[in-house]
Amino acid sequence: MSLILASQSPRRQELLNQLGLNFRVEHAVVSEMQSGEPPAVLAEVNAHKKAAFSARRSPDSLVIGADTVVVLGESVLGKPMDGVDAKKMLRDLSGRQHDVITGVALCQGSSSEVFHVVTHVWFRTLLSHEIERYIETGEPFDKAGAYGIQGIGGVFVERIDGCYFNVVGLPIQRLACALRRWGLDVFHA
């Protein structure tokens, strides 16, 4: 069975490579839902839109779609629009706990499975110059919540409760279990 990742995320690609899976990457051209639903539903709907788009184009392939959102209180933090937006997000996250929710969808033809994983993340209190220098690295700009735990942004994280890989962008433990149900065992790939 051919496997497609409907995501341009280099982090998701790295995680699938770590699992030893053979896959190809397709960019799913969809309009993502930004608000109006609870964050977990938002992540699941966006993940399903991406996977379904590619599944329609390649009905014999198994397609993985994913969407990650950062939730602080009642606010969903997407990717920052610019440096000012990134600075605001990082200041808001400073010294607080937030949730990272990744929705994952597996689609093949008209069949699909959708789930989400939540990881609780605590940031230490950030200093102004740390935020400024971090923004200068460029790392925050393609990441929900304006940070990457797998990069230098990881120094802001005091602790987590849940799946680390979920914060990176793909909950690989839960994904591996789901892939097995679809006939793809990562240990027999």
Extended strands (E) in 73-135: 75-77, 97-108, 111-123
Residue 189 has pLDDT above 60, yes or no: no
For the stretch 84-114, pLDDT in tens is 999 999 999 999 999 999 999 999 999 999 9
**Residue written as token pair 């995680």:** 15
Give, in degrees to the nearest 5, the angle at Cα 32 between 120 and 98: 15
Residue 37 has pLDDT above 90, yes or no: no
Residues with a known catalytic role: 67
Of 32-41, 82-91, 163-172, the one with minimum mean pLDDT is: 32-41
For the stretch 48-86, pLDDT in tens is 999 999 999 999 999 999 999 999 998 999 899 999 999
Residue 175 has pLDDT above 70, yes or no: yes
Widest CA span of the chain, in angstroms?
51
Smallest Cα–Cα separation from 183: which of 14, 52, 54, 3? 3
What proportion of the chain, given as a percentage, has pLDDT over 70?
Answer: 98
What tokens does 20 get?
A: 């030893």
pLDDT at 33: 65
On average, the pLDDT of the chain sits at: 94
pLDDT average, residue stretch 151-165: 98
- The domains of the chain are located at 3-181
Give 3-181's CATH code, choosing from 3.90.950.10, 3.30.9.10, 3.30.1300.10, 3.30.300.30. 3.90.950.10
pLDDT at 96: 98
Residue 184 has pLDDT above 80, yes or no: yes
Percent helix, strand and coil across the chain, each rounded to 5?
40, 25, 35
Residue 141 has pLDDT above 60, yes or no: yes
Extended strands (E) in the chain: 3-5, 24-25, 62-72, 75-77, 97-108, 111-123, 157-161
Residue 41 has pLDDT above 70, yes or no: yes
pLDDT at 28: 83
Residues 106, 49 contacting (CB under 8 angstroms):
no
